Structure 1
Amino acid sequence: MKYDSTDDISLTLAATAFAALGSEQRLSVLRTLVRAGHEGLSIGELGQRTGVTGSTLTHHMKVLAQAGLVTQSKQGRSIICAAVAYDEVRALSEFLLKECCADCATPGKDHDHG
């Protein structure tokens, strides 16, 4: 998921990913999974750590998965959730800095202190 200002599809992909992260609970779920590392967490452990459980967690995982940010896989009797979009999250940050700060003299710098 690379973002280039000349590509409208990339703008759509960025908007989809940002929309998926537009919920405090989904952002919390993704942050928890990123911190858990590549091995991920069981759905139960994810719910305990985030305070989001049941059908609400299922819904948020579905939205994040559709945006390509997380995966779910069955391991034995457990469902393991993992963040898979480390590069995509980095690309989203770069997209914001490049596209949204394009007219800034020094993107990412504090003009009063930098």
Structure 2
Amino acid sequence: MADSYQNLDVYKLSMKFAYDVYQIVSTFPDFEKFGLSSQLRRAVISVPSNIAEGSGRQYNKEFVQFLFLAKGSLREAMTQLELSKMFGYVDEETFIQIKDQANRLHKMLNRLISRLKKPGG
């Protein structure tokens, strides 16, 4: 699976998620540049990065560990997006759309983890 991570649907969606969040963050106030904006950007970049890095590992067990890290980064990003909504930086419609995307991504990560944990996965 090492050379095919870019073909994984979960990777493709994680890249879209990161791109979409970057678009949202670009509208945040300037004073958040080194605060919430920076943290959120790091969190969303971590999701596809962990998928890619894990896929390059020798064993599925190692890949699964990186997928769990990706899930953690996804949860971190969603918490920061919730805060962004509370602070008035993200409107309700945008938040619902990005939350739906994150939920789909979370389910895809879970399915891939389950598949890799099966014998011969």
TM-score relative to the length of structure 1: 0.31
Bigger CA radius of gyration: 1
Q: Which has the higher strand share?
A: 1
